[in-house]
């Protein structure tokens, strides 16, 4: 029976398999479907190892399994509500002392800068260019399945005792909202025991270092048994061969796949993944400070709205913020509904303080910016960037 990877997003599909090393033990080999082609890795399990599980027909082996789209909700989706009404807010302004202190700190953090302009410069103007940052976070859950196997140590075996529950019906742990996380779950009623495909149920494989012989050509005499004419080789006592160190002369070693257990527990693994998808928009300000600088600082939070699904921000003084909100909400809800289940959304508006400071030093006018709650400073044209030459 042919299996098609319905939800495959990459990873190997084991319709064709190579059971790898096949020893002469015909009795054990007879339990397996004959090898088809040698295109897969040496430990690729044969397709016959995986039973047909109702509801999981698209499940493949290896890598991240394909994502499973969530089912249509059985109950009406709650409608988003407009966020809380905004009170009036004041633009906080920083004092000259704060601006100067931040500047001195900035200059001293640069090993070669002279602190003289920061300390002795005279502030002539301070202008506020405060701006807004809108951020939308969409917290999603996605689910994917894949066939897995592990050495059999007596784990419960439950395949076919009941119909497996659907991938979205299996309870997962309660996630912490807006924090990325992951959980692996064995899908109930899919576990069965199969002989190990890699060693054909023997538990051991021929040693790679001696090709199963247990010994190899003596490296001292190169197999002749003699050194310097007729002197017997002391390393191999004239045998011409020495014991293999890797298998201690046994010619075989424990099978890595089943760890010598001869059998594997084969099951469908469900991966549940929680992802916080975040997008931010900063309103352009005309101070001359590049917007990229603002991604590293925080602002004063003016608005916060957390719901199952948020409604775009309304009635905010800056239309650019409302447009960004409209765009992000439509984009997120369209994009993330397809591959995952949206669990929660959060939107915030921050006011990021930006102050442009003009000052004079040694008769020339210069400027710098103080921005963010952290009072970060940007001074691209600091007048004394090398203290060694300016003095």
Q: Which residues bind Zn ion (CB under 5 A)?
A: 196, 198-199, 207, 209-210, 218, 220-221, 233, 235-236, 244, 246-247, 255, 257-258
Cβ neighbours of residue 381 closer than 8 Å, sequence gap 6 or more: 366, 367
Nearest approach, Cβ of residue 44 and Zn ion (Å): 13
Nearest approach, Cβ of residue 28 and Zn ion (Å): 11
The alpha-carbon radius of gyration of the chain (Å, integer) is 34
DSSP string, 105-143: HHHHHSTT--SHHHHH-EEEEEEE--EEEEEEEEEEEEE
Query: Do the Cβ atoms of 343 and 174 come closer than 8 Å?
Result: no
Nearest approach, Cβ of residue 35 and Zn ion (Å): 16
Nearer to Zn ion, 47 or 255 (CB): 255
Nearer to Zn ion, 110 or 241 (CB): 241
Q: For 81, which DSSP code?
A: -
145-167 residues labelled b (16+ CB within 10 A) or e (exposed):
bbbbbbbbeeeeebbeeeebeeb
Nearer to Zn ion, 222 or 364 (CB): 222
- How far is residue 352's CA from residue 106's CA, in Å, rounded to a whole number? 19
Cβ neighbours of residue 26 closer than 8 Å, sequence gap 6 or more: none
Nearest approach, Cβ of residue 6 and Zn ion (Å): 30
Nearer to Zn ion, 260 or 383 (CB): 260
Nearest approach, Cβ of residue 201 and Zn ion (Å): 7
Nearer to Zn ion, 207 or 283 (CB): 207
What is the number of other CB atoms lying within 10 angstroms of the CB of residue 296?
Answer: 10
Residue whose structure tokens are 């001359």:
288
Nearest approach, Cβ of residue 250 and Zn ion (Å): 7
Nearer to Zn ion, 248 or 290 (CB): 248
């Amino acid at each position: 029976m042919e299996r098609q990877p319905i939800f495959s997003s990459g990873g190997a599909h084991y319709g064709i398999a190579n059971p790898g090393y096949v020893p002469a033990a015909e009795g054990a080999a007879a339990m397996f479907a004959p090898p088809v082609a040698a295109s897969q890795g040496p430990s690729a399990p044969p397709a016959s190892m995986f039973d047909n599980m109702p509801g999981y027909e698209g499940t493949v082996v290896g890598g991240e399994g394909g994502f499973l789209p969530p089912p249509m909700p059985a109950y009406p989706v709650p409608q988003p509500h407009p966020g809380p009404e905004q009170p009036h807010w004041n633009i906080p302004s920083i004092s000259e002392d704060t601006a100067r202190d931040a500047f001195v700190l900035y200059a001293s953090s640069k090993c070669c800068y002279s602190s003289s302009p920061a300390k002795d410069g005279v502030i002539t103007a301070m202008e506020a260019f405060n701006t807004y940052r809108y951020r939308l976070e969409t917290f999603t859950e996605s689910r994917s399945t894949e066939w897995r196997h592990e050495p059999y140590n007596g784990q419960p075996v439950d395949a076919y005792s009941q119909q497996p529950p659907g991938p979205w019906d299996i309870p997962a742990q309660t996630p912490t909202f807006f924090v990325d996380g992951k959980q692996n779950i064995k899908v109930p009623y899919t576990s069965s025991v199969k002989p190990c495909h890699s060693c054909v149920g023997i538990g051991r494989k021929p040693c790679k270092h001696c090709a199963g012989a247990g010994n190899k050509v003596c490296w001292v005499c190169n197999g002749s048994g003699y050194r310097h004419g007729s002197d017997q080789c002391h390393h191999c006592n004239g045998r011409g061969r020495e014991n293999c160190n890797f298998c201690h002369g046994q010619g075989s070693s424990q099978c890595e796949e089943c760890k010598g257990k001869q059998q594997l527990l084969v099951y469908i693994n469900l991966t549940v993944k929680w992802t916080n998808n975040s997008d931010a928009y900063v309103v352009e300000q005309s101070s001359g400070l590049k917007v990229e600088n603002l991604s590293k600082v925080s602002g004063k939070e003016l608005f916060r709205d957390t719901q199952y699904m948020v409604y775009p921000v309304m009635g905010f003084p800056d239309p650019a913020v409302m447009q960004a909100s409209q765009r992000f909400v439509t984009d997120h809800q369209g994009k993330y509904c397809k591959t995952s289940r949206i669990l929660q959304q959060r939107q915030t508006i921050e006011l990021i303080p930006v102050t442009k400071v003009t000052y004079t030093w040694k008769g020339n006018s210069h400027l710098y910016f103080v921005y963010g709650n952290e009072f970060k400073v940007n001074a691209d044209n600091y007048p004394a960037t090398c203290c060694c030459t300016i003095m």
